[in-house]
């Protein structure tokens, strides 16, 4: 089947379509010829039956038939006795030799229609013979069918010549029509090649007709949009990571150069260790964020948010309020990281107090982390969820942070079908995380 694959889509579609047309025309031609042949035979048989009935009427009325027997022009009639001998006939009939042989006569008397050569009835064309017993006699009527056979033969010839010509014309039309139908696909292919090579903001042309190709173009444009956003995120990620890694690496290098010149390695060891730990945290956070944004499946297990909140609260020794056991599904370690990151931010910026709470909010669980710090301006509350975003007035106090904590929170919460937002707590910031509730025992699917 290698030749089939080498044909291309246009060739395969044309062959399949043309093959279907050829098969349909062949079946139709056979049906037309069979129907015409049947109709002509029925016409001849009805004519013969009418003649037989008229001869039988003569026999019933007078016991004999006129000599010669009156029949329609072109037909031949014979009257046979019980021995199969000719006792009467039409003007054009042979009065000595029966039209039918004994075996043919027996079959005809049982209802069969027998076709015989015309010379048996002294005719130039084939005859279709009907035989019906009438008492001890048999009425035999032959109807010429040469013109009928010629009509059927002519129809076969016309179909045999016309159909290949018709198929050829249809192949040309199909080639052009399929080419026109596939032209939008070629436009999509060339557009995709151009866009991929140039990395431009151009999008694929969308056909006007709302068909499969229209939907394909829209789907491809959506895919290109997602790829474009992914490339932008990748470029931003690399640029941000390089920028953030530069500072601790430069600090380590300076300290090593100073120690090398002074020959005093002991005094810089603690500072270098701090920078190395910062690099380690930064790399760990980068890997975690990359996994969260990769779209990989999140393990789905039942998680008791009440236990999770109380565990985190005890670690940070903060006030915890809870409305009792509330369950969700997801990765317990990822949800723990969400709370830890929020608590780290809250503790880092709080003046005196941090509160952690869990409550039911309709069909969702609401986790709140509240601090009494300086707060975040409303215009910056969405921006702080971006990677490596630090507000100017918080840089000095954000020592030890990687700038990825809230970005990790947003991605992990999104992977758990939840939402996170920051609100004004008057004073301070109120972080809210909403997660879907899921009772223990219900089916769990990985997402």
Return d(Cα 251, Cα 268) in angstroms, integer: 11
Q: What is the pLDDT of residue 180?
A: 81
**Using an 8 Å Cβ cutoff, are 89 and 71 in contact?**
no
Q: Is the pLDDT of residue 446 over 60?
A: no
Residue 50: band (very low, low, confident or very high) from pLDDT cuts 50, 70, 90: very high
If you compute the radius of gyration of the chain from its CA atoms, what whole number of angstroms results? Answer: 49
What confidence score (pLDDT) does residue 106 get?
92
- Using the predicted structure, report yes or no on whether residue 263 has a pLDDT greater than 80: no
* pLDDT surpasses 90 at 35: yes
Mean pLDDT of 167-186: 83
Domains and CATH numbers, the chain: 2-149 (3.30.450), 212-292 (1.10.287), 299-436 (3.30.565.10)
For the cut 80, the answer to whether the pLDDT of residue 97 exceeds it is yes
Q: Is the pTM of this model over 0.75?
A: no
Backbone phi and psi for residue 144, each to the nearest 5 degrees, phi listed first = -65, 135
The partner residues of 370 in beta bridges, in order of sequence, read 355, 430
Q: What percent of the chain has pLDDT over 90?
A: 29
First vs last C-alpha separation in the chain: 41
For the residues 72-76, what does the mean pLDDT come to? 90
Under 8 Å between Cβ of 413 and 431: no
53-69 tens-digit pLDDT: 999 888 888 777 888 88
Instruction: Pick the more confident residue, 197 or 178.
Output: 178
422 pLDDT tier (thresholds 50, 70, 90): very high
pLDDT above 50: residue 320 = yes
Tens of pLDDT along 179-236? Answer: 887 778 778 778 777 776 666 667 777 777 777 878 888 888 888 888 777 777 777 7
* Ramachandran angles phi, psi of 215, nearest 5°: -70, -35
pLDDT of residue 301: 87
Which of the residue ranges 9-23, 202-216, 351-365, 393-407 would you say has the lowest mean pLDDT?
Answer: 393-407
Position 277 scores a pLDDT of: 77
Helix (H) or strand (E) holding 232: helix 212-262
Q: Are strands 76-80 and 137-144 parallel, antiparallel or unpaired?
A: antiparallel
Which range among 175-189, 218-232, 330-344, 381-395 has the greatest average pLDDT?
Answer: 330-344
Given this model, what pLDDT does residue 200 score?
A: 65
Measured CA angle at 362 (ends 361, 365), to 5 deg: 45
Contact 341, 407 (CB under 8 A): no
pLDDT band at 130 (very low <50, low <70, confident <90, very high): very high
Residue 171 has pLDDT above 90, yes or no: no
> In the numeric block, which tokens belong to residue 270?
């603690």
Query: Residue 138: what pLDDT?
Result: 92
> Bridge partners of 368?
357, 432
């Amino acid at each position: 089947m290698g030749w089939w694959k080498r044909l291309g889509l246009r060739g395969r579609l044309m062959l399949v379509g043309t093959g279907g047309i050829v098969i349909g025309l062949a079946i139709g031609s056979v049906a037309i010829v069979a129907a015409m042949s049947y109709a002509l035979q029925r016409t001849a048989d009805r004519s013969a039956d009418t003649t037989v009935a008229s001869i039988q009427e003569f026999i019933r009325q007078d016991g004999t038939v006129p000599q010669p027997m009156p029949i329609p022009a072109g037909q031949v009639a014979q009257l046979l006795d019980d021995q199969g001998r000719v006792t009467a006939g039409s003007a054009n009939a042979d009065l000595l030799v029966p039209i039918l042989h004994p075996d043919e006569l027996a079959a005809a008397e049982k209802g069969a229609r027998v076709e015989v050569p015309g010379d048996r009835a002294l005719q130039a064309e084939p005859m279709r013979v009907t035989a019906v017993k009438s008492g001890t006699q048999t009425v035999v009527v032959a109807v010429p069918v040469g013109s009928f056979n010629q009509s059927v033969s002519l129809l076969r010839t016309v179909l045999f010549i016309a159909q290949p010509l018709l198929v050829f014309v249809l192949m040309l039309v199909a080639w052009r029509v399929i080419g026109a139908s596939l032209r939008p696909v070629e436009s999509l292919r060339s557009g995709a090649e151009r866009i991929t090579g140039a990395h431009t903001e151009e999008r694929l042309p969308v056909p006007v007709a709302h068909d499969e190709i229209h939907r394909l173009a829209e789907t491809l444009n959506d895919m290109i949009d997602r790829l474009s956003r992914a490339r932008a995120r990748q470029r931003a990620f690399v640029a941000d990571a390089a920028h953030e890694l530069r500072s601790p690496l430069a600090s380590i290098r300076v300290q090593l150069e100073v120690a090398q010149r002074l020959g005093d390695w002991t005094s810089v060891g603690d500072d270098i260790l701090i920078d190395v730990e910062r690099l380690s945290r930064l790399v760990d956070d980068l890997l975690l964020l990359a996994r969260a944004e990769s779209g990989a499946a999140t393990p789905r297990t039942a998680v008791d948010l009440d236990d999770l909140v109380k565990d985190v609260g005890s670690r940070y020794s903060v006030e915890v309020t809870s409305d009792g056991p509330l369950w969700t599904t997801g990765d317990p370690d990822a949800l723990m990281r969400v709370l830890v990151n929020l608590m780290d931010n809250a503790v880092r910026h709080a003046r005196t107090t941090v509160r952690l709470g869990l409550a039911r909010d309709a069909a969702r669980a609401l986790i709140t982390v509240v601090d009494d710090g300086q707060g975040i301006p409303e215009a910056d509350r969405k921006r702080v969820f971006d990677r490596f975003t630090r507000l100017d007035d918080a840089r000095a106090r954000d020592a030890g942070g990687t700038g990825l904590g809230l970005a990790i929170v947003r991605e992990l919460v999104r992977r758990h079908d939840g939402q996170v937002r920051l609100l004004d707590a008057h004073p301070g910031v109120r972080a809210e995380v909403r997660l879907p509730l899921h009772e223990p025992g219900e089916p769990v699917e990985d997402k």
